Amino acid sequence: MMLVRNVVVLMLLVTVVAPIILYTDRIGTFKSASSRNEFIEEVTSFTFSGDAGRLNVLPQESSATLKEPIGLVYTDNTTKEGVEHKSARVLSATTDDSQAQKENPIRQVTDGNNQGVQSGISEKSTVAGENEVGRKGKIPKDEDGKVKVSKRSSSKNVAQNVEVKAEDQSSKTPVIAGKQETAKSGEGQNEQMAMPDARVRQLKDQLIRAKVYLSLPATKNNPHFTRELRQRIKEVQRVLGAAAKDSDLPRNSYERLKAMEQSLAKGKQIQDDCSAIVRKLRAMLHSTEEQLRVHKKQTLFLTQLTAKTLPKGLHCLPLRLTSEYYTLNSTQQHFPNQEKLEDPRLFHYALFSDNVLAAAVVVNSTITHAKEPSKHVFHIVTDRLNYAAMRMWFLVNPPGKATIQVQNIEEFTWLNSSYSPVLKQLGSQSMIDYYFRTHRANSDSNLKYRNPKYLSILNHLRFYLPEIFPKLDKVLFLDDDIVVQKDLTGLWSLDLKGKVNGAVETCGESFHRFDRYLNFSNPLISKNFDPRACGWAYGMNVFDLKEWKKQNITEVYHNWQKLNHDRQLWKLGTLPPGLITFWNRTHPLDRLWHVLGLGYNPNVNQRDIERAAVIHYNGNLKPWLEIGMPKYRNYWVKYVDYDHVYLRECNINP
């Protein structure tokens, strides 16, 4: 009986007490889990002052059925290409404690460092999130393709979007600014490369502004500022010196520039009358422009004067040669091969010059490049003063196997004022007044037309070639300011197609057209010629003397010279009457036969010069003058023997 009672009590304990104990244990477990979830919700709702939304990176959902939307985080990739890449981040909930401990998002948030936040969305979490999405399936989307978000997480997602935009803005802004700074610095470098004198100009501008301030009443009433400004002016002037570009400036130039700018800023503040400054600047500008105009006019006059003046060495040379010539006996004064002078089968050159050295360069350069020098004949005509000197030079320096003839223009008895209208005009009183009235030197705008070379009949002999060479068929006319660089014999075989003159046209520049040389306001000119017609160059011309005689070119020239007795059709010179005389009678040659501009144009194409058969120093900057351009001078100098005894005695140096 006792045994039965004990069994019953034991069964009651098992059936009653055990469930109570088990129920109590479950209640404790439930309470523990609930408290943990409440802690997570409290953390997610907790915010730091001034940094709202930073805690939203924490995983907030323990349910595996809800998947968070993908948030786009823009990270700046500072590669050379500067491309911004996008990476996806999945904020999915997980109950994996080890994963939570691994990422430890609370530390990332409370660390206070932006880099800690970025590390919370590093490549590891990105890859893990992508893998999680791959395991659990696609993210739910609505019909428009947008991610579905539950009501519980809607407020959290709004904060998340704000955070993503803020991160995107903060990450992009410094990169863009950096690019802008780089671009600005690049522009600055380009400006420095394009303008190597930028600082020099700025310093000069500061000097002008400082001088303007010194002249204003407000500055004069402030002696302290006046002394300061004068000191700054001296410093800037000392720094500038003769500097033409920034590299010429001393190291302290920037400090001086800054100091002057500060003083000018003070000066600007103390000025109370801006209109006075404007008036002063305008007056200075007008005065500077007037000075520039006067200096340009003086420069033009002095350049023309230098071009007309014979250097001492070139004056000494003909005197020295003349004295030597008259010490020779009569048998020593003759040139060999005189029987070739009238042979039309040979290559004949006409050269009219009173410059011994220039004529020597023309002959030397031509013979140097001639394939058959023995077939070349040079006919040199000079004036009475230089006749003996010219003959003596070529007697002492014969041009190899070539033939030389030197004539005196005084021997042409047929050339007189009754035959030549230009000779009659050159001796007229009006022409003498035009050239020799000294007060005209400062007032004549057409100073270049008053060159005394136009008074010399040597300049007009080119219109009388058939009279000078009656037995020749073709003549190559050369100026004395040219250099020959190739064999010219091909010019004699050119077919001029019935034209009289073979020349290179000068259409490339507007001032080489007819309207720049002829007066088209005169009806005689306007009705006979085209103002836009191409001019052509004297200096290397092939003349067909047979056609010349057939078309009576000399008479055409005389008729136009008579019509221009009062210089109303053109100014003085030989090119304008040449353009008229050979109008529709000129055959254009290839431009590389004759390249011009070495006496006035510093920008002649170098390749054209190297390829040219003849280069021409037309203009005032002749190579034998000190004003000649050095970059072109070597082409001429190499045909002069400066070791020659006569050149050394006359101190003629390269």
What's the pLDDT tens digit per position in 33-48? 444 454 444 444 444 4
Q: Nearest 5°: phi and psi at 262?
A: -65, -40
- Read off the pLDDT of residues 588-604 as tens digits, 9 standing for 90 and up: 999 999 999 999 999 99
Please report the pLDDT score of residue 301 as a whole number: 73
d(CA 238, CA 232): 10
The closest alpha carbon to 377, from 468, 501, 476, 484, belongs to 476
| Of residues 141 and 220, more confidently modeled | 220
Helix ranges (H only) for 120-216 are: 123-136, 154-194, 198-214
Q: Which two tokens stand for residue 48?
A: 């730091």
d(CA 91, CA 44): 14
Say what the pLDDT of residue 376 is.
Answer: 97
Distance CA 529, CA 551 (A): 19
Q: Which residue's structure tokens are 């399936």?
A: 137
Give 502's pLDDT tier (boundaries 50, 70, 90).
very high
Give the residue with greater pLDDT, 426 vs 125. 426
**Arithmetic mean of pLDDT, 612-626:** 93
Q: Which of 135, 117, 132, 151 is nearest to 70 (CA)?
A: 132
Nearest-5° Cα angle at 83, 79 to 88: 105
Q: What is the pLDDT of residue 103?
A: 46
Q: State residue 396's pLDDT score.
A: 94
Dihedral sign for Cα atoms in the order 192, 197, 201, 204 = positive
SS3 332: helix
Q: What's the rounded Cα separation, in Å, for the pair 18 and 25? A: 11
Confirm if 353 and 318 have CB atoms less than 8 A apart: no
Residue 95, classed as helix, strand or coil, is coil
Q: 347: closest CA among 460, 478, 505?
A: 478
Range in 103-117, 283-297, 308-322, 609-623 with the lowest mean pLDDT: 103-117
Q: How far is CA 631 from CA 331, 359, 602, 615, in A?
A: 44, 21, 8, 13
Q: How many CB atoms lie within 10 A of CB 233?
A: 18
How many other C-beta atoms lie within 10 A of the C-beta of residue 500? 24
pLDDT at 560: 94
R_g (Cα) of the chain, nearest Å? 49
Portion of the chain with pLDDT greater than 70, in percent: 67
Phi, psi (degrees; rounded to nearest 5) at 440: -75, -15
- Residue 317 to residue 58: CA distance in whole angstroms: 104
CA distance 284 to 497: 62
Answer yes or no: are the C-beta atoms of 577 and 570 closer than 8 Å. yes
Q: What average pLDDT does this structure show over 322-348?
A: 93
Least confident of 3-7, 177-181, 449-453, 566-570: 177-181
Q: Is the C-alpha dihedral spanning 289, 290, 293, 299 positive or negative?
A: negative
CB-side neighbour CA atoms (13 Å) of 114: 7
pLDDT at position 472 is 96
Residue position matching structure tokens 């109370």: 272
Contacts of 648 (CB under 8 A, 6+ apart): 642
Three-class SS state of 586: strand
Q: Which tokens hold the place of 211?
A: 């001088």
Q: Tokens standing for 432?
A: 């003498």
| Closest by Cα among 505, 427, 495 to 460 | 427
As given in the structure block, the two tokens for residue 233 are 């002016």
Q: Beta-carbon neighbour count of residue 230 at 10 Å?
A: 13
The predicted pLDDT at position 287 comes to 87
Query: What would the two tokens of residue 2 be?
Result: 């006792």
| Average pLDDT value over all residues in the chain | 76
pLDDT at 179 over 50: no
Topology given in CATH for the domain delimited by 312-650: Spore Coat Polysaccharide Biosynthesis Protein SpsA; Chain A (3.90.550)
Helical ranges in 326-474 per DSSP H? 356-369, 387-396, 421-426, 429-436, 465-468
Which tokens go with 370? Answer: 């001639």
Dihedral of alpha carbons 549, 553, 557, 559, sign: positive
Distance in Å from the first CA to the final CA of the chain: 153
Question: Rounded to 5 degrees, what are φ and ψ at 270?
Answer: -85, -10
Mean pLDDT across the stretch 538-556? 95
Residue-range domain boundaries for the chain: 199-272, 312-650
Tell me the per-residue pLDDT of 47-87, one tens digit each, with 9 for 90 and over.
444 444 444 444 444 444 444 444 444 444 444 444 444 44
Phi, psi of 66 (to 5 degrees): -100, 130
- Single-letter residue type at 600: Y
